[in-house]
Chain A
Amino acid sequence: MEQELILRAARGDAEAFDALARDRIDRLFAIAVRILRDHHDAEDAVQQALWTAWADLPGLRDPERFDAWLYRLLVRGCFRAGRSRRRRLSLVRPLSDPDEAIGGADGPRDVEARDALDRAFALLGTEHRSVVVMHHYLGMPLEEIADVLGVPSGTARSRLHYALRRLRAAIEPVEEIEPMAEASR
């Protein structure tokens, strides 16, 4: 059924594409807003991804790769939105209510940890944020992330490792961070 919709959409059936997009737009937005930490930028990225997907769908060779391809367009959109807005927002904004604690806990330490994560995430590039969100939010394996991003799996692994070390270090201030020059590629 899905493949049928994708094939119809690739042949110019806008209703089929509408059905595919409606099924995915919440998920795309949730991913983008977690990468960019900004609602407007996330909307820009999703809009760009879906419009490009519609325009370029006739060129998609394998309908089974539709979702991976769409994620790739979304991450490209996030890069673009992140670049064009980077001067506007020097820091990532927290997405949640400040009174709502990490993991449902309520302690001041958790609030402090969430703030620390917000700050640490702000310092990561879009390439690192994307990997963290795809791995920890979508539960995507590293090989699949590498495929979506079009990078070797070692690079995806390295990016995740680097980002997690940064985030862990933010909430474990006593723990030393190893040199990370290699991982920032």
Chain B
Amino acid sequence: MIDDQRTDHMIRSWIDTGPDRASAEFVERTLAPIPRMRQRRSWRIGLERRVGPLMPLAAAVAVVAVVVGLGLLPKGVPIGGLNPSGSPSPALGSNKPTFELTFGEGATARVFRSDPSASVQTCNVKPTGPSYALYAGGDPFVNIDFLVGAGAEKPGGGSRVAAEIQADDLYVRFDPAILRGGDAAGRSQATVSISTEGSATTFVVDATTPDSYHGDVPIHVSLTLTCAP
């Protein structure tokens, strides 16, 4: 038997092992947008404290409202601060996304549609480069961070799509082509097809991903998103 002192020493040594510094890129990505983010007034924070702790979804709404919804989103700030991968963030364009999002299939499918009054609605389509869409709003609340990689329209490029989606109590993410990193190969599958009509570009995505608040059973997600002026 090993004594507690020895095991505690081993545990401390094990905990000490690991990185002690954040990357310079991460530091800049985190701190650079702050001067353009508005602070909440103290009376508002105090009021929320008295009302009680916010539900996670309401908290997400609050973050979006404070950081983004008031038109304060600086270039490069992702929805709700979720940019797990350090992928390039989208420039805000004048185009807006409209979408229909379906979780599951058949009678139990849940469908969400874009709300024209959502606080964040922006997309940017580049014919030869990556395309992005950001959306946050509606009731129930939907938050979409959508990326289509360059070359997705070419033969064999159909999996070059990634998204992080929160819709009501559902959460999924997929990134089969590892456009943003941090995803295990084979964890999710997704395909995107792209069509253009006039100045509108439509992305039709079919994905299967194990991420969900309701267990790790793979869930089917279909998203038809149109980016138009």
Contacts and interface: CB of A to CB of B under 8 A. Distances in A.
- 8 A-B pairs with the lowest CB-CB distances in the bound complex, closest first: A59-B45, A103-B13, A95-B18, A29-B22, A14-B35, A40-B182, A58-B42, A96-B17
A55 B34 CA distance: 9
Given A29-B21, A95-B17, A18 B31 contact: yes
Contacts of A33: 18-19
Contacts of A54: 34, 37, 39
A46 interface: yes
Contacts of B66: 55
A65 interface: no
A14 B34 CA distance: 7
A52 interface: yes
Interface of B: 1-2, 4, 7-22, 26-27, 29-31, 33-35, 37-42, 44-46, 49, 56, 63, 66-67, 81-86, 171, 173, 181-184, 187, 210-212, 216
Interface string A32-61: 011000011101101110111011111100
Contacts of B46: 59
A90 to B, nearest CB: 8
Contact of B211 (A17, A41, A87): A87
B187 A88 contact: yes
A47 B81 contact: yes
Nearest to B171: A84
29 contacts: A14-B34, A22-B27, A25-B31, A29-B19, A29-B21, A30-B20, A34-B18, A40-B181, A43-B30, A46-B30, A47-B29, A47-B30, A48-B81, A51-B30, A51-B67, A51-B81, A55-B39, A56-B45, A59-B40, A59-B49, A88-B184, A88-B187, A95-B18, A103-B13, A117-B11, A164-B8, A172-B7, A174-B1, A175-B1
A39 B37 CA distance: 25
Given A54-B39, A168-B7, A102 B18 contact: no
Contact of A137 (B16, B35, B56): B16
Interface in A107-152: 110, 113-114, 117, 132-133, 136-137
Given A30-B19, A55-B37, A25 B27 contact: yes
B11 A51 contact: no
Nearest to A59: B45
B81 A136 contact: no
Given A12-B39, A18-B34, A117-B11, A87 B19 contact: no
Contacts of A78: none
Contacts of A22: 27, 31
A64 interface: no
The listed residue with most B CB atoms (<10 A of its CB), out of A54, A80, A133, is A54
A178 to B, nearest CB: 14
Given A40-B182, A46-B22, A117 B14 contact: yes
Contacts of A26: 20-22
A26 to B, nearest CB: 5
Nearest to A54: B34
Contact of B10 (A46, A95, A103): A103
The listed residue with most A CB atoms (<10 A of its CB), out of B12, B13, B49, B212, is B13
Given A22-B31, A44-B81, A51-B37, 20 more contacts: A18-B35, A21-B31, A25-B27, A26-B21, A29-B22, A29-B26, A40-B85, A40-B182, A46-B30, A51-B30, A51-B67, A54-B37, A59-B44, A113-B14, A133-B15, A136-B11, A168-B4, A168-B8, A171-B7, A172-B1
